[in-house]
Amino acid sequence: MIKYALACAAGHPFEGWFGSSKDYDDQSARGLVECPVCGSHQVTKQIMAPSVLGTRDPDPAPHRQFAEAMNRLRSHVEATFDDVGEDFAAEARAIHEGKAEERGIYGQATGQDVVELIKDGVPVAPLPPKPRAKGEIN
pLDDT digits (tens, 9 = 90+) for 40-76: 999 999 987 776 666 566 777 888 898 899 999 999 9
In this predicted structure, the answer to whether residue 134 has a pLDDT above a threshold of 80 is no
For position 83, what pLDDT does the model report? 97
In this predicted structure, the answer to whether residue 138 has a pLDDT above a threshold of 60 is no
Burial state string for 92-125 with b = 16 or more CB within 10 A and e = fewer than 16: bbbbbeeeeeeeebbbebebbbbbebeeeebeee
Q: Can you give the length of the chain in residues?
A: 138
Nearest CA-CA partner of 10 in 112, 110, 109:
112
